[in-house]
Structure 1
Amino acid sequence: MDVDSDEDDEEEEVKPGQPYMSLLKSLVESNPHKSKRRKLNHSTEEPEQPKPEPKSDDEDEEKEPVDVDEVEEPEEDPNNLAPEDLFDEDDNLDDTDPFETHFSNPDEKVYSARIKAAEQAKWKLQRQPFQSTRAYWTLPDTKEEIPLPAPITSTADLKLKQRLKESIQSTLSQFDTAQKTIAPFLFNYRDLLYCNRTVAEADSLHTLTALHALNHIFKTRDRVIKNNAKLSKADADASQDLELRDQGFTRPKVLIILPTRQQCVKMVDTIISVCEPDQQENRKRFDDGYLDKTTKFSEDKPLDFQDLFAGNDDDMFRLGLKFTRKTIKYFSQFYNSDIIFASPLGLRMAIGSEEDKKKVDFDFLSSIEIVIVDQADALLMQNWEHVEFIFEHLNIQPRDAHNCDFSRVRSWYLDDQSKYFRQTVVLSAFNTPELAELMRAHCHNWAGKVKLQQECHGIIQQLPIKARQTFSRFDSPTVSADPDARFAYFTKAIVPMLTKRNSKDAAGTLVFIPSYLDFVRVRNFFANNSLVESVTFGNISEYADIPEASRARSHFLTGRHKVLLYTERAHHFRRYQIKGVKRVVFYSLPDNPVFYEEIAGGYLAKSEQSMLLEPGQGVVRVMFSRYDVMKLERVVGTGRVGKMLKEVGDTFDFV
């Protein structure tokens, strides 16, 4: 649905959750749909000034110089498009097409029962093996049995638009392992949390998700255009009375959340390679604002770091993308876009502050039908509250009409049930409580949701050196009490080992602290408590600038500081090579298991190589509680984690 218009409708307030008839009365009757026509000649009348709409980037598009490759074409009107504007002339939709069964023509008896169960938070969990991955299949708790989707091994098994099928056939005839794993759930519109994303799989996952998003957009657009033709014939024949519901409130249908501008470039380039447009409008402006080919760090950085931070690593952006049959337009207005790309910070800034109700605008998210969250593990290292804020404002009934033809809006949109039809796809290298809560609180798909996760073999025996690794379990009564219990255990069990040692033995202790709040608490303890007044210390957090961090590393190497406090986000964003480490204390395990290997193994290995530490004398001490089960499983392995949480003993040694 294209909501471009030559005129504006009057504003009308709509309260979220209004029932079907009330919504029609408040919006349809007071804002009758105005027929729209393509303008072929300049009008002699003064045109009505349109109401400003939110920009899709922090720059003012009108002030930008015209790009040399900008394509000029007349503005498209969805109610006056000819058959040649179709992406494909032949749809061949049938009851086996997931687009048809989930969005276009779902069985009301089926989805009503499942939505009712979802509204009452009645879900049933099925754990089933799926290829080499564990599938945790969560379904609305109804009496019906819902089997796992049939396997999909190639594009031949998919119901694709003909244009996409032809363009993708040469590059993606057969799926790889990762694609075969997620394809049955992705293309059948199930909510998906995929916890096995790797750098090697990134391109194949981008290709598959881009193909799914484009297939959905093209089918939606072509269905609207074909129904326009049917309505035109019905208008000519007074005996026909058609009711065709094929739209949402606003045009944007796909939201893709990414951590950096460079990742946005990768996803956009994948989309270009899949749909092969004839023209790209404003591509030069996109390249100028999003591409950065300069090298910012040495090549010895880990592969995942290079993949995430190479190129333009700015985490403040939002971009609208609009599709026509031959052209892709960058920097389109949100209300005129088919796909919205954004970082969490960028999209939250676009929505506005809840403190100023007049300026806040999230109506462009009211009809989002597919959400793709890529590299969710990296987003966790940013401000996760922004992601939660975005999901809280998805699929809320709009406060303004935005030139919507309500006679074409699907009934479940009008009944405020669109969140039960939205598909959410989250791709992450690992699972965390935050991701699990996101799926629980904001994913209500009536078709069900699935978590795909491989068994963890652990990395405690994969360290590059031999070191004594001691895992100490402490009791924590509740999640909310866990920070206090952890700090109490640290001061009673770990700190005495530092103060009782002589000066030579205490030097070289790195304390790794994932949470910044815990970091501040421990830092204040070392600074103010008399128990550790003899222990000199330095600290490196994500807020430390480069000179400050360099000074702390230097003092730690020379022994001026015996203890160095180091946060997980500092390691994520900088990957410092810290020298002089003789023992490592994990105040809590990192979410990313790679960090454990780099710190426990890599830092101690460097100390052995520089003769600061005798071979095999490195020590690793880990504190954990029962609420660290996800982190612990990735480090020690699935087979060990149960015993370590339930056995009578609270200390476990590995060499």
Structure 2
Amino acid sequence: MRGRGRGGARGGRKNAFAPARIEDPADARGEYPSEPEISSDSSDASSAEDEEEALPTSKAYHSLLQSLANRHTANTAKGEPRRKRRKLDHSPFPDVESEIEVDAEEESDSGEELDLEPADVGEQEEPVSDVESVHDEEEQQRELNDAFEAHFERPDENELAMRLKAISENQWTTKKLEAAGGRCLLQVPSADEKALSRRRLKSPRDVRLKPRLVEKAQKALGVFNAVEQSIAPSLFEYQDVLFGARTPKNAGRLRDMASLHALNHILKTRDRVLKNNSKLAAASDDVDAEYRDQGFTRPKILFLLETKQACVRVVDSITRLHDFEQQENKKRFLDSFSLPEDKFSDDKPDDFRELFEGNDENEFRVGVKLTRKTLKLYSTFYNSDIILASALGLRRAIESNEKKKDYDFLSSIEMVIMEQADATLMQNWEHAEFVFEHLNLQPKETHGCDFSRVRNWYLDGHAPYVRQTIIFSAFLTPKINTLYNKHMRNVTGRLKYTADYTSGIIESLAYGIKQTFSRFDSPSHLTDPDSRFKYFSSTVLPQITRFPKPPQGGIGVLVYVPSYLDFVRVRNSLVDSDLSYASISEYTDLTDVRKARSHFMSGRHSLLLYTGRAHHFHRYHIRGVKRVVFYGVPENPRFYDEVVGFIGKTVERGEVSRAEGSVRVCFSKWERLELERIVGSKRVGKMVGDRGDVFDFI
């Protein structure tokens, strides 16, 4: 529905984390063509420190490194100064880049004498003192208590098997938690009460972060508020989180918390692989060490975002939480993804401005690669740590090759962050479902993967149950709940936070207009559209035709239809009626929109059909509305308030009295969630289950 973007990357490569050969000239420029290519064996023209290439991992290579380490130690003992070294872009393992330095005096000869000095690891070959051994033991003990270690690195196999069995049988232990401003449910696939206990996190200092992130995180987030404390333990302990109370006011802090967690995960993964690389390099030939610390492919984090401007905000959050000496392709990224965020007037609501201000194009995808000192944008998918994409953009990337779909780059995703699920509902929810269906599948090609380093639960096909899924939404719907039940099945547990709807929004409406809620019989949610149309055609529409027409102007009836399919059905039924009507949908041309609004306001058309998605994308202020009929209950409660407000403004202008204005809402028992947000949880049970079928509010 929104603008169409071009870009993406797909394909394979010989080494799981080596740069892919760029087949298309657009890839060399850091751009994504309309039919993305991620080819086998590509190379990048970046700095040497930021690129990795695979080197043999044989024991002969380890022996060479050991001899070089001995040579370095001997030179240091003699007091010889360190020789000049330059950095090469080789890494003994594909998951990270290490710094390999060559003696400048000898690189012109054979180049055989190397010093291994992995980034952020230091001189691993120095003798270890007793004090250092104690520190190492303390660090190992801290790591054992770390959620990253327990969830990804060293999961208890017996407990994992038990929880997987409980998930397969859909057996969850549920606990209601105290939560500020809402309702919080924690579920774990275990009968063990200890699994339901949580640490209390008051600020980023209470989170087990990498030291280099603590100060920045504390400065950006400070103390967690009451709502954030409700979700922080689950968020940072790798449980699935469905947060159904996102607002424009809390969106920035939620984004920072998720970005901090993603950064922390990448740094811990990277440091662990570097540490194991160093151990393998120092191991003797007769030591058969095994370190399983990787996935099939490099990408670990997937952000599912709605607009390019939202993508810019995530990148800004990442760069505020971590210092990077370089940010490659940043200008190109901002030129393509960012626009000034002041294109709407203040009369537009804050949620609309947050979503659509700036660049609101919704087809995009971009890879982000993190090295020790550099953040690189427009990296190819197979050479990225983070993928930022819209659901539509990612689906286009996967399906760009009709003969051979490539989704192997999603095989090792360990964290999914979906920032605005409610906005995705207004696009095409099938795109989101498509992406989740293609997450953590066994790859069709090896892509140069070193299977001796792949974690066992990847090989066993359990990655979907270890992956953490984080979803933020303004409200929850049956479709979002279905995704929660189907794809958020984390072995550690899952948390669902719902806003408090005790009173609903109807008590805060000050229009003084009669609002009538009419329930119709609907035996099944599958046949609900047919039952709804039958009720509207046989009961509601005849009442509309009987409204007295004033001497000047029309009867001013606006029919709000949430679904486009229902809109088409109702519009077709009006063709042979005596009512003069106009219609505005998300597909209506702007010229036709102006004509429809003008004729409705003047009374030339008595009835105006108006879709929920048209209101979502444009938030029109429609004049001449005297009566409103809701064909279905809006999923977004703000829409109910704004559409009823059309009558309120008509009353203020003196075009109709409050007694003449009216609201009619058609609902069935299958719309409990939508109805609760409007009338409140203390009323919704009676309205859905009582014998009466008409409920009036003023």
C-alpha separation between the residues in 2 aligned to 1:488 and 1:87? Answer: 70
Which residue matches 1:420?
Answer: 465
1-side partners of 2:672 and 2:175: how far apart?
20
Which residue of 627, 633, 641 maps to 2:670? 627
User: Counterpart in 2 of 1:282?
Assistant: 329
Q: Distance in 2 between matches of 1:589 and 1:53?
A: 50
Q: Which stretch of the first structure deviates more once superposed, 451-460 or 415-424?
A: 451-460
- What runs of 5+ residues in structure 2 fail to find an aligned partner? 1-11, 38-44, 53-89, 100-116, 124-135
- The answer to whether the 8 Å contact 2:174/2:187 transfers is yes
Structure 1 letter corresponding to 2:683:
R
Alignment check: 8 A CA contact 2:306 2:362 kept? yes
Q: How many Å separate the matches in 2 of 1:198 and 1:57?
A: 33
CA drift of 1:440 comes to 1.0
Write the distance in 2 (CA, Å) between the matches of 1:458 and 1:115.
39
State how far apart, in whole Å, the 2-side matches of 1:348 and 1:54 are: 20
Distance 2:161 2:250 in 1: 37
1:72 paired residue among 43, 47, 58: 47
Question: How is 1:86-105 mapped onto 2 (pairs within 5 angstroms)?
Answer: 86=120, 93-105=142-154
Distance 1:546 1:335 in 2: 42
* CA spacing shift, 1:407–1:54, aligned 2, 3 Å: farther
Kindly tell me: are residues 121 and 566 of structure 1, through their superposed partners in 2, closer, same or farther at Cα, counting changes over 3 Å?
Answer: same
Which has the larger displacement, 369-378 or 142-151?
142-151
- Judge conservation of contact 1:465–1:616 (CA < 8 Å) in 2: no
For 1:496, what is the secondary structure of its paired residue? Answer: helix
Aligned to 1:18: none
Is the CA contact (8 Å cut-off) linking 1:498 and 1:506 kept in structure 2?
A: no
d(CA) in 1 for partners of 2:17, 2:602: 77
Residue 367 of structure 2 contacts residue 385 of structure 2 at CA under 8 Å; is this kept in 1? yes
Aligned equivalent of 2:506? 460
Say whether the 8 Å CA contact 1:53–1:333 is kept in structure 2.
no
Equivalent residue number for residue 174 of structure 1: 223
Q: Residues of 1 paired with 2:239 and 2:536: CA distance?
A: 43
State the SS of the aligned residue for 2:416: strand
Equivalent residue in structure 1 for 2:382, among 335, 345, 370:
335
**Amino acid of the structure 2 residue aligned with 1:391:** F
Distance in 2 between residues matched to 1:178 and 1:34, nearest whole Å: 40
The one-letter code matched in structure 2 to 1:493 is T
* Alpha-carbon contact 2:16-2:298 (below 8 Å) kept: no
1:252 aligns with 2:252: no
What amino acid is aligned across from residue 157 of structure 2 in structure 1? E
Distance in 1 (CA, whole Å) between partners of 2:202 and 2:91 is: 36
Question: Which residues in structure 2 correspond to 1:571-610 (within 5 Å)?
Answer: 571-600=615-644, 602-610=645-653
Question: 1:217-241 CA distances to partner (integer Å, 9 max, x unpaired)?
Answer: 000011011100001111xx12311
Which protein is bigger by CA-based radius of gyration? 2
Superposed CA RMSD in Å reads: 2.5
**SS of the residue aligned with 1:367?**
coil
Counterpart of 1:511 (choices 537, 559, 564) is 559
Q: How far is 1:49 from its partner? A: 6.7
Deviation for aligned residue 1:123: 3.0
* Aligned match for 1:305, one of 325, 348, 352: 352
Give the letter aligned to residue 435 of structure 1. Answer: I
**CA shift for structure 1 position 181:** 2.1
SS at match of 2:221: coil
Equivalence map 1:39-438=2 (5 Å): 58-59=32-33, 72-74=47-49, 75-76=51-52, 77-79=90-92, 81-82=98-99, 83=117, 85-86=119-120, 93-142=142-191, 146-234=195-283, 237-293=284-340, 295-352=342-399, 356-358=402-404, 360-438=405-483
Would the aligned equivalents of 1:466 and 1:618 in 2 still touch at CA under 8 Å? no
> How far has the Cα of 1:148 moved from its partner?
3.7
Q: Deviation digits for residues 420-450 of structure 1, max 9, x if unmatched?
A: 1000000000000010001111122111111
Distance (whole Å) between structure 2 residues aligned to residue 34 and residue 255 of structure 1:
17
Partner of 2:491, secondary structure, is coil
Q: What SS is found at the alignment partner of 1:379?
A: helix
Asked if the contact 1:88–1:161 (Cα under 8 Å) also holds between the matched residues in 2, the reply is no
Structure-2 residue corresponding to 1:558: 602
Per the alignment, in what secondary structure is the counterpart of residue 628 of structure 2? strand
SS of 2:196's equivalent?
Answer: coil
For the residues of structure 1 that align with 2:369 and 2:589, how far apart are their CA atoms?
A: 40
User: Which among 487, 508, 531 is matched to residue 533 of structure 2?
Assistant: 487
Q: Tell me, what secondary structure is at the counterpart of 1:527?
A: coil
Superposition deviation, residue 95 in structure 1? 2.2
CA–CA distance in structure 1, aligned partners of residues 681 and 235 of structure 2: 27
- 2:574 and 2:272 map into 1 onto residues whose CA distance is 65
Task: Name the structure 2 match of 1:527.
Answer: 575
> What TM-score comes out, normalization by structure 1 length?
0.87
Cα distance in structure 1, aligned partners of 2:495 and 2:474: 16
Paired AA for residue 494 in structure 1: V
Whether the aligned pair in 2 keeps the contact of 1:88 and 1:162 (CA below 8 Å) is no
| Percent of matched pairs sharing the same residue | 47
Distance 2:658 2:192 in 1: 62
CA distance in 2, matches of 1:351, 1:609: 53
Do the aligned residues in 2 keep the contact of 1:134 with 1:454 (CA within 8 Å)? yes
3-state SS of 2:575 partner: helix
Aligned-pair distance for 1:496? 1.2
What is the CA–CA distance in structure 2 between the aligned matches of 1:49 and 1:311, rounded to whole Å?
A: 34
Structure 1 counterpart SS, 2:220: coil
Deviation sequence 1:441-461 (CA, Å, 0-9, x none): 112211111111122021112
Is the partner of 1:584 in helix, strand or coil?
Answer: strand
Q: Report how far residue 166 of structure 1 moved.
A: 2.8
2:370 touches 2:376 (CA, 8 Å); kept in 1? yes
| Contact preservation (8 Å) 1:8, 1:402 | yes
Q: Distance in 2 between matches of 1:421 and 1:605?
A: 51
Measured against aligned partners, the alpha-carbon deviations of 1:383-425 in whole angstroms (never above 9, x if no partner) come to 1100000000000011111111110000010011111100000
In structure 2, give the amino acid aligned to 1:522.
V
**Deviation at residue 520 of structure 1 after TM alignment:** 0.4
1:406 & 1:379 partners in 2: Cα distance? 36
Partner residue in 2 for 1:570: 614
Aligned position for 1:476: 522
In structure 1, distance between residues paired with 2:156 and 2:259: 27
Secondary structure of the 2:559 match is strand
| Distance apart, 1:143 and its partner CA | 5.8
Consecutive unaligned residues in structure 1, runs of 5 or more: 1-6, 10-32, 39-47, 63-69
**1:476-508: CA deviation from partner (whole Å, max 9, x where unpaired):** 101101001111111122111112233339710
Partner of 1:613: 656
Question: Aligned runs of 1:444-455 on 2, under 5 Å?
Answer: 444-455=489-500
Quote how far apart the aligned CAs of 1:57 are: 5.7
AA aligned opposite 1:463: L
Higher relative contact order (CA 8 A, sep 6+): 1
The one-letter code sitting in structure 2 at the alignment partner of 1:613 is: V
Question: For the residues of structure 2 that align with 1:607 and 1:307, how far apart are their CA atoms?
Answer: 28
Quote the offset at 1:295 in angstroms: 4.3
Using the alignment, how far apart are the partners of 1:440 and 1:579 within structure 2?
42
Secondary structure of the equivalent of 1:331? Answer: strand
Question: Does the 8 Å CA contact 1:117/1:142 hold for their aligned counterparts?
Answer: no
